[in-house]
Structure 1
Amino acid sequence: MKINELAPVIASREVEVEASPETIWDIIVAVDSWPDWNSDVKAAFIEGDLAVGTRFSWKAGQLTIRSTVLQMERPHHLVWTGTTTGIKAVHLWQIEKRGEKALVRSEESWEGLLPSILRGTMKRMLSRSIQQTLLYLKREAERRSL
């Protein structure tokens, strides 16, 4: 599964991380720990472990996002949907081993009323958010790999 490539707002970024795909994966799937390493996430709630069909919610800024896992292939591929006021998102994580490092790619699409009306503003916002999250993730994964 991929993001919605026809959505009005799409962003993607990647970063090379000096950590194993397993270390990176463990950080991403521990949803309730997101606020510990990503200061943009104010709270995160999940019951049980992350698996296909698992629902979780999290708060970023003033928005509460309700998400559902659609696909998982440990430790390389994770897709979930998310909804919040005026936005339906699809988020994709891909982690690829590169020697002693890993390449982490994060992609997201937004559709709905707000992304349709405020396309440019929302694309910049999403792009910055993905870039910042990848930097936080890189820092945490490399810290754990020392």
Structure 2
Amino acid sequence: MFQEMRYRGPSLDELHENYAKQHRIDEDAVIRSAHEVVVNAPVERVWALLADPTGWSAFDPAIHDVHVAGDGTAAVDTRFTWVNGRAKIASRFAVVEPTREITWTGTAMGSRAAHRHLLTPREDGTTFLRTEESMAGTLLGLVYNKAKLHAELTRWLDSIKTAAERS
């Protein structure tokens, strides 16, 4: 248990380049979770929501103060900051493959995370949306755990699903 609490994971640069850009999260991280939903909307609509961080607060009220570097477009290595609840997060896009995958890495309160979203269009016009995330940081387990992360991922995908389906 103590060794799990001490696991820091890879450096942020390594997590970004050798994990997230390689379409993976840190499977050794103690805190990781995944969730998936079927969205009754075309993949292009779901993608449009995910690829516009400045619009996230419109469907997820926990998210605010989003600032994207450059022209505000999601692109590989573009940095962005945002607040989710009370946590201020500094992030960087690692994978931006329109209508297929969007992944970013980020840091908050000494933790490092990799967060992937995989979109799969289905024959009936709906979208299968899967997310997975890993978080690591010394003593992170004292204030955060798998159950909290899973609840957050569930809330996030439910928000995306609701927004895409009402558009």
Shorter-normalised TM-score: what interval? over 0.9
Q: Indicate the structure with greater strand content.
A: 1
Structure 2 unpaired stretches of 5+ = 1-22
TM-score, normalising length: structure 1:
0.92
Give the whole-Å Cα distance in 1 for the aligned partners of 2:95 and 2:66: 20
Which of 134, 137, 146 is matched with 2:160 structurally?
137
Return the offset for 1:45. 1.2
Q: Which residue of 2 aligns with 1:23?
A: 45
Q: Which residue of 1 aligns with 2:33?
A: 11
Which of 88, 97, 114 is matched with 2:121 structurally?
97
Q: Does 1:72 align with 2:110?
A: no
Q: Which residue of 2 aligns with 1:107?
A: 132
Equivalenced residues, count: 142
Larger radius of gyration: 2
* Identical aligned residues as a percent: 30
Are the equivalent residues in 1 in contact too, given 2:30–2:135 (CA < 8 A)? Answer: yes
Q: Which residue of 1 aligns with 2:151?
A: 128
Q: How has the CA–CA distance of structure 1 residues 114 and 41 changed in structure 2, closer, same or farther, with 3 Å as cutoff?
A: farther
Report Cα offsets for 1:16-60 as digits up to 9, x if no partner.
001111110100111011111111213211132110010001101
- Larger CA deviation: 42-51 vs 93-102: 42-51
Q: Which residue of 1 aligns with 2:87?
A: 63
Give the secondary structure class of the aligned counterpart of 2:128.
Answer: strand
Give the whole-Å Cα distance in 2 for the aligned partners of 1:138 and 1:40: 16
Return the offset for 1:124. 1.1
- Larger CA deviation: 13-22 vs 37-46: 37-46
- Runs of 4+, deviation exceeding 2 Å: none
Return the offset for 1:73. 1.0
Aligned-residue CA RMSD (Å): 1.3
